[in-house]
A = this chain, B = another copy of it.
Amino acid sequence: MIIKELAGLKDGSNISNLFGWVDNVRDHGGLTFIDLRDFDSTIQLVFDKESSIKVGVKNEFYIMVSGVFSKRDESLVNNKTSYGQYEIVINSLEIVNESKTLPFQIEDNIDTDESIRLKYRYLDLRRNEMKNNIVARSKTFKSIRNIMNKLDVLEIDTPTLIKSTPEGAKDFLVPSRKSPGSFYALPQSPQMYKQLFMMSGFPNYYQIAKCYRDEDSRKDRQPEFTQLDIEFSNGNPAVVKNNIEIIVKHIFDEAFDIKIDTPFNTMTYEESISLYGTDKPDLRIKETISDISALFQNTDIKFIKDTLEKSGKVLSLHTKDTLSRKNIDSLDDSVKLIGSNGLGWFKIDNKEITGPLAKFLNPEEKSELSLFGDGLIVFQAGELNEIPKYMDLLRREIFSSNNDSMISFTWVEDFPYFETEDGILQPSHHPFTAPKNPDDFEINPKDSTALHYDLVLNGVELGSGSQRINDPQVQKLVLEKWGLTKEDIDERFGWFIEALSYGTPQHAGFAIGIDRLVAEILKQPSIRDVIPFPKTQSGMDPLTDAPSLINENDLAEYNLRYIEDEQ
């Protein structure tokens, strides 16, 4: 039996074959006390040192005991645990399995290095805080399945050994033994297959899918991650957003007992950039960015004058707190780290303006600046494709949220269709997204908008979705405007354009990153903390030592050979 099966037993009941881990052992006045722990509960065991029970159990031994369920003395009741009113006076103890000396203690708030915790992940997961994370993950799965059933969305699975696709990040490849030289790819997402389900006539689809991206791991990412993937036939952004709000509201309620309000706030990409400097705005912070360019139209401050002449802008934030010089220097360091020339600032104190640039201000500027009121104005001058990200950082550093318990959702929509990365045009999301206006798109793809919408929680992008292209001609157009050759289009997307050519309904969908969602709700520092067996930043598993070397003979079965780096 396990501890929770003791519930309802009477004082004096005989207990037999109760299993659990030794959480700790204490000797005290001729008696030995053991805290017995299992998944749900703990209970105290006690026996006389002189009894026939063999001692010598240590922490994490898995044992089986029998004895008598006994009310503890009023004065000894432990109200911190569920069975704290009781103990078991044991008359037999059997060791099921011993434990070696532990590499770290099974308790919360340990400061053990993460690589050690990952190497012994099975012990790490015995700790309450980690166990609770994984249970929350499991509850999230369960709540998703429940709401999907309520919404009558079909769970269908998609293949994971697929043809290489082009979604920006890199594919993991899987060599085929049967067709040497040929490779499958692991899916970056089930995108094309969920669209195929819509072409196949299914009304909707969902799946909790493993997705794979072989990308550099500076950010908190994993080579494999888990997403709730969803698609609606005859769908459009309004249908999808409404359903996602129902789903997210349900997950928060059922899995986390948190009530949230819907509908969520919605803003355009442009609004988000101009007010928050980012397309992932943290709305727990109320302060927004101001464009104070107009204030400097006759300025004597040279770098501002130059900026404005080159159609640049001056963006600012105002805080009522007067930050210390140390704080200001630290903000200066932060923005420089991501590419800014440095922080501009003015301190306003009773209409008096100070700061390194104050002496260059003309009287008009002074009077307009003083209207902001006492406090600090920080600003950045530069081009609009550069400075918003500095303003985003400043906003988050200055107003670092003390609203940690707040939940603040927003939709961001009307993204630009393309973005330019290192001078090359790339779809901001993926090339299956429908342009908002296909005619405009054809004429001016670079300034065209996509029917794409992101869901942002507390400054974190939780998920992404779009209306998809359902017209094979538009699909071809998008790939052409992206810059693909006819041959590329045929080779990589020919089969997909063909599939669109047999009466494809309008369809739209969404995907939510489950690792990120759970980590964000539980305020965990990394998604690794909510994944049972994650990889390190460099894609290694310290537990099993994967990935591992493969010998030449095994490789030869795939007609592959390892080549040393050339010097």
Residues of A within 8 A of B (CB): 2, 19, 21-22, 38-40, 60-62, 96-100, 102, 120-123, 125-126, 131, 134-135, 137-138, 141-142, 145-146, 149, 154-164, 170, 172-186, 193, 196-197, 199-203, 208, 210, 212, 214, 217, 223-224, 226, 233-234, 470-471, 495, 499-506, 532-535, 538-541, 543-550, 554-556, 558-565
Task: Give me 17 other A-B pairs in contact (C-beta within 8 A), A99-B502, A137-B156 excluded.
Answer: A19-B234, A21-B201, A62-B505, A98-B501, A102-B502, A123-B200, A157-B532, A159-B532, A161-B212, A161-B547, A178-B217, A179-B538, A182-B547, A182-B550, A183-B547, A196-B533, A197-B532
Q: Check A135/B157 contact, CB under 8 A, given A2-B234, A503-B97.
A: no
Residues of B within 8 A of A181 (CB): 549-550, 562
Q: Check A210/B97 contact, CB under 8 A, given A19-B234, A163-B546, A174-B172.
A: no
Closest to A165 in B: B544
Query: How far apart are A55's CB and chain B's nearest CB, in angstroms?
Result: 16
Q: Does the CB pair A495–B159 fall under 8 Å?
A: no
Q: Check A560/B559 contact, CB under 8 A, given A60-B502, A99-B503, A178-B539.
A: no
The contact of A544 among B163, B201, B504, by CB within 8 Å, is B163
Residues of B within 8 A of A196 (CB): 121-122, 533
Q: Does the CB pair A126–B545 fall under 8 Å?
A: no
Q: Does the CB pair B550–A183 fall under 8 Å?
A: yes
Q: Check A546/B162 contact, CB under 8 A, given A97-B471, A102-B502, A501-B100.
A: yes
Q: Can you pick out 23 interface pairs between chain A and chain B where the beta carbons lie within 8 Å of each other? A: A22-B503, A60-B502, A61-B503, A62-B504, A96-B506, A99-B503, A100-B501, A102-B502, A120-B499, A120-B502, A122-B502, A123-B200, A123-B502, A137-B156, A138-B154, A157-B210, A161-B546, A162-B546, A163-B547, A164-B546, A173-B554, A176-B539, A184-B546
Closest to A159 in B: B533
Q: Does the CB pair B173–A548 fall under 8 Å?
A: no
Residues of B within 8 A of A201 (CB): 21, 38-39, 125-126, 131
Residues of B within 8 A of A186 (CB): 174
Q: Does the CB pair B559–A160 fall under 8 Å?
A: no
Residues of B within 8 A of A233 (CB): 39
Q: Does the CB pair B155–A141 fall under 8 Å?
A: yes
The contact of A154 among B60, B62, B135, B159, by CB within 8 Å, is B135
Residues of B within 8 A of A543 (CB): 495, 499
The contact of A224 among B161, B163, B471, B502, by CB within 8 Å, is B161
Q: Does the CB pair B200–A126 fall under 8 Å?
A: yes
Query: How far apart are A155's CB and chain B's nearest CB, in angstroms?
Result: 5
Residues of B within 8 A of A535 (CB): 159, 161
Q: Does the CB pair A503–B60 fall under 8 Å?
A: yes
A166 vs B507: C-alpha distance when bound (angstroms): 43
Closest to A496 in B: B544
Residues of B within 8 A of A562 (CB): 180-181, 559-560
The contact of A156 among B134, B161, B545, B548, by CB within 8 Å, is B134
Q: Does the CB pair A160–B550 fall under 8 Å?
A: no
A186 vs B159: C-alpha distance when bound (angstroms): 14
Residues of B within 8 A of A38 (CB): 201, 203
Residues of B within 8 A of A208 (CB): 157
Query: How far apart are A471's CB and chain B's nearest CB, in angstroms?
Result: 6
Residue among A159, A177, A224, A563 having the largest count of chain B Cβ atoms under 10 Å: A159
Residues of B within 8 A of A176 (CB): 539, 547
Closest to A63 in B: B503
Q: Check A550/B504 contact, CB under 8 A, given A179-B539, A495-B544, A562-B181.
A: no
A138 vs B393: C-alpha distance when bound (angstroms): 46
The contact of A184 among B96, B504, B547, by CB within 8 Å, is B547
Residues of B within 8 A of A504 (CB): 62, 97
A471 vs B96: C-alpha distance when bound (angstroms): 9
A540 vs B161: C-alpha distance when bound (angstroms): 10
Residues of B within 8 A of A172 (CB): 161, 174
Q: Does the CB pair B160–A210 fall under 8 Å?
A: yes
Query: How far apart are A528's CB and chain B's nearest CB, in angstroms?
Result: 12
The contact of A561 among B96, B234, B563, by CB within 8 Å, is B563
Q: Does the CB pair B560–A563 fall under 8 Å?
A: yes
The contact of A157 among B102, B226, B548, by CB within 8 Å, is B226
The contact of A96 among B21, B170, B505, B548, by CB within 8 Å, is B505
Q: Does the CB pair B503–A121 fall under 8 Å?
A: no
Query: How far apart are A298's CB and chain B's nearest CB, in angstroms?
Result: 55
Q: Does the CB pair B2–A177 fall under 8 Å?
A: no
A131 vs B202: C-alpha distance when bound (angstroms): 8
Residues of B within 8 A of A550 (CB): 164, 173, 181-183
